[in-house]
Amino acid sequence: MDDVSPRHRQVALSRRRLGLIGLALLGTGGGWWALYRYRPPHDAGLLSVAEAHGLSRAGALWLIDIRTPAEWRRTGLPEGAVPLDMRRDDFEAALRQLVAGDPERPIALICAGGVRSARLSRRLVAAGFDRIRDVPEGLYGSSAGPGWLASQLPVTPWEG
């Protein structure tokens, strides 16, 4: 191995490390999926998809779908949800403007599987939003539950 360049040696070590990490994750019985589905803790309340649907339908909360337009196009929107792409630079300002007509109504965030809604809930609580709720099941389900689609709750086409 003396005739191998230092750069080649470094690449070989990196590959070995990646292999060991891969074996460790395989040894956890699919623990990689748990890492992918990790939802950061936050101070927002949690709602099931059924609760979010019922409260939204009754006009008791704002249901905000924070996914992307491509995702809205693919699945449609949860019935009663307002699409607001969380990647917008002016997301917080747009959300404040949206709820200005009824600022006392709680805001529930929903995404595909609960990861983005948890992260955004945390950010919004830190920014002073005090009525944030998270729907951790999302549209596709997560460890929190089966999700909007599997629960056969209604969706509406996105007219983007």
Residue 82: count other Cβ atoms within 10 Å of its Cβ. Answer: 16
- Can you give the pLDDT at residue 86? 97
In tens, the pLDDT along 82-104 reads: 999 999 999 999 999 999 988 88
> How far, in Å, are 12, 26, 39, 156 from residue 134 at the CA level?
44, 31, 11, 21
- Can you give the pLDDT at residue 34? 45
What is the rounded distance in angstroms from the CA atom of residue 29 to the CA atom of residue 129?
39
Please tell me the total count of domains within the chain: 2
Q: Are residues 32 and 51 in the same domain?
A: no
Domain span at residue 122 reads 45-156
What is the rounded distance in angstroms from the CA atom of residue 72 to the CA atom of residue 67?
7
Q: Are residues 49 and 121 in the same domain?
A: yes
Q: Is residue 144 part of a domain?
A: yes
Q: Are residues 16 and 65 in the same domain?
A: no
- Can you give the pLDDT at residue 45? 86
Q: Are residues 152 and 87 in the same domain?
A: yes
Q: Is residue 29 part of a domain?
A: yes
Extract the tokens encoding 127: 């920014």
Low-confidence stretches of the chain (pLDDT < 50) are 30-38
Q: Is residue 1 part of a domain?
A: no
> Residue 137 sits in a domain of what CATH number?
3.40.250.10
- DSSP 8-state class, residue 145: B
